Chain A
Amino acid sequence: MSATARTSVSPVGGSFARLTGPLVILSLVALILLPSIWPSSYVINILILAFIFGILATGLNLIFGYTGLLSFGQIGFFGLGAYLYALLTMDAGLSPWFAMLLAGVGAGFVALLLGYPALRVSRASFVIVTLSFTLLAALLARNWVEVTRGPMGIPKLPAPSVDLPGLGEFSGHDPRVFYFIALGMAVVCIGVTYLLVNSPVGRVLRAVNLNEPLAASQGISPKKYQIAAFSIAGILSGVAGSLHVAHLGIVDPSIFDPYYSEMLLIIVIIGGPGSLWMVVISSFVFMVIPELLRMAPELRMVLFGFILVLAAMLFPTGVGGYLEDRKVALWRRSLRS
């Protein structure tokens, strides 16, 4: 919390929060060193996917976990960012880095436009409008053949490269180089979200989520904050999408596959909506699990479905929410004594 105060009633809380900083830095160092210690392209590719999903999940966490709006538009923005990246590099001839930037901005802008009608009526309509956006985007990708090349997709996409003065240029087509590009983007995207949710803006977002009328009575325009958060989440998804296809080297309509939406939802629900780091950890866990669970993909999805059902029944606030509830319980106990 940004405005912590001297208190006379106080439980032990905060020991976990104090450890977060060192743990994040330690993990980051480990991730930087990993390719030199364990140079397996298999491991590197899984981690690249985890970075991409970490960005994507952080975006959903921002709009759902903090702002309280369940968005099914994130995969739509993911695909939009992917196609923007492909079209800007292949057809407009822009550099991969610039295209990646514009993919994020473009997705964020579309989110801004979509936010208004989506938030017009109720949370139910927000869910359905954002879902429809994703479906419409998929439809467009498949059918607007002149631009998107239809179901065949756009192959041979370039990857961004890194030019280090004195050391030469490193091509992003090398997985070990792309690993650092994806890691860097994840650090930037998750870092910006961290700054946002831990700033007074994040406090207001949580307030709007917790009690919209109260926030409005205090001079906060709920819509303004909701639309802004939706737009930022759109930027994150767009960037993640461009990274994903830059890594794959091809974009096609399967980027909108419901599988992505389902995985994204599970990651955020199990990690805990509104818990930034838990959701990031959850992204890694759920990218690694399929590699460990060698079973039929259908059976795996049945299992994930059951996990979602169980989570909704027993743990609606995820691991992060469970930890928060424990803190509140400590408070209650300290008040009683």
Chain B
Amino acid sequence: MTAILTTHALCKNYRGIKAVQDAEISVAHGKITGLIGPNGSGKSTTIDCITGFTQPSSGQVLYDGQDITGKPSHGLAGVGLVRTFQNVRVYERLSVMDNLAVASQKLRTHGWLPLMLKSAAVKADEKDIEQEAMSFLELVGMAHYAGAPAGILSYGQRKLIALAACLITHPKLIVLDEPLAGVNPTIIRRISGLIETLNEQGLTFLIVEHNVDFIMRHCDHVIVMEQGKKLTEGKPEDVRRDERVLEAYLGKRIALEAKGTAYA
């Protein structure tokens, strides 16, 4: 089993606060890896470091055999590493179709002049993009919204568009930041099913999620973080039984409840 992504001794400090400490994370090729942990355990910071949205303070990120530590985010989509965001991001004033067209990597290699004058090659690529976008929109079940501005869609529908926009970049690894948070059960089922199907087709996922049911059912491997450190990792059923994991979650909840009564 080869890893497509590994981090070595990854650290991130914010003004003296150690958000991430010596994180050793490994994402196996072709698998679905879950990254879980209580709020503030450093999951989001970890994936920000991986996807170039923040510079790690120290440590190393290796992706597909290359050192991508500190590489800016815009350099990663081209090598097949894309992500979604916790509070879903789409281009609200662009049509759904244009949301996908922007994400496509196809036109990036053309110069500005051919793009402006719509050379034959550009036109051909545009046509390809349109077809490809339609097929991905059909896959996520949003094809009939292709011409609508993304801003009019519901939160869950935007998550589907965001996922389709990831797919059109032809990624090898997709990092999903809470893909199920805040969406209704129908769309949860749809997104879960999509992840499963895409994974069967060979796509690798690293998923930050709180939905235990999803993690248990779909992840091949789970990494648990607590207070910026990796607490444990393993198969979902093993992690579930791990007392330290229960403590990390429950301990926090009990502490919160205690706080709640103190305030009341």
* Chains A and B in contact, CB within 8 Å: yes
Where the two chains meet, the residues of A that have a C-beta atom closer than 8 Å to any C-beta of B are 1-10, 192, 195-196, 199-201, 203-204, 206-207, 210-211, 213-222, 228, 324, 327-328, 331-332, 335
Decide: A219 and B76 in contact? CB cutoff 8 A: yes
Q: What residue of chain B has the Cβ atom nearest to residue A10's Cβ?
A: B147
Decide: A196 and B116 in contact? CB cutoff 8 A: yes
What 10 pairs across the A-B complex have the smallest Cβ distances?
Answer: A219-B77, A7-B147, A8-B144, A5-B146, A214-B89, A216-B73, A195-B116, A207-B102, A3-B101, A210-B91
Q: What residue of chain A has the Cβ atom nearest to residue B112's Cβ?
A: A201
- Any chain A CB within 8 A of the CB of B145? yes
Decide: A200 and B147 in contact? CB cutoff 8 A: no
Within the assembled complex, what's the spacing in Å between the Cα atoms of A332 and B67?
46
* A interface: dominant SS: helix
Shortest distance between the CB of A65 and any CB in chain B (Å): 12
Decide: A218 and B115 in contact? CB cutoff 8 A: no
Shortest distance between the CB of A207 and any CB in chain B (Å): 4
- Any chain A CB within 8 A of the CB of B72? yes
Decide: B97 and A3 in contact? CB cutoff 8 A: yes
In the complex with contacts A199-B116, A219-B108, A7-B144 CB distance below 8 A: yes
Shortest distance between the CB of B173 and any CB in chain A (Å): 13
Where the two chains meet, the residues of B that have a C-beta atom closer than 8 Å to any C-beta of A are 51-53, 72-78, 82-83, 85, 89-95, 97-98, 101-103, 105, 107-108, 110, 112, 115-118, 122, 126, 129-130, 133-134, 143-149, 151-152, 165, 169
* CB-contact partner of B152 in A200, A210, A332, under 8 A: A332
Q: What residue of chain A has the Cβ atom nearest to residue B149's Cβ?
A: A328
Decide: A5 and B152 in contact? CB cutoff 8 A: no
Within the assembled complex, what's the spacing in Å between the Cα atoms of A122 and B3?
38
Contact residues in B for A213 (Cβ distance below 8 Å) = 53, 73, 85, 89
Within the assembled complex, what's the spacing in Å between the Cα atoms of A215 and B112?
18
Within the assembled complex, what's the spacing in Å between the Cα atoms of A7 and B74?
31
Shortest distance between the CB of A126 and any CB in chain B (Å): 19
Within the assembled complex, what's the spacing in Å between the Cα atoms of A9 and B93?
17
Within the assembled complex, what's the spacing in Å between the Cα atoms of A228 and B115?
14
Within the assembled complex, what's the spacing in Å between the Cα atoms of A199 and B102?
11
Decide: A1 and B91 in contact? CB cutoff 8 A: no
Within the assembled complex, what's the spacing in Å between the Cα atoms of A1 and B148?
12
* CB-contact partner of A3 in B85, B93, B133, under 8 A: B133
Shortest distance between the CB of B31 and any CB in chain A (Å): 22
Decide: A218 and B133 in contact? CB cutoff 8 A: no
Shortest distance between the CB of A162 and any CB in chain B (Å): 26
Decide: B102 and A215 in contact? CB cutoff 8 A: yes
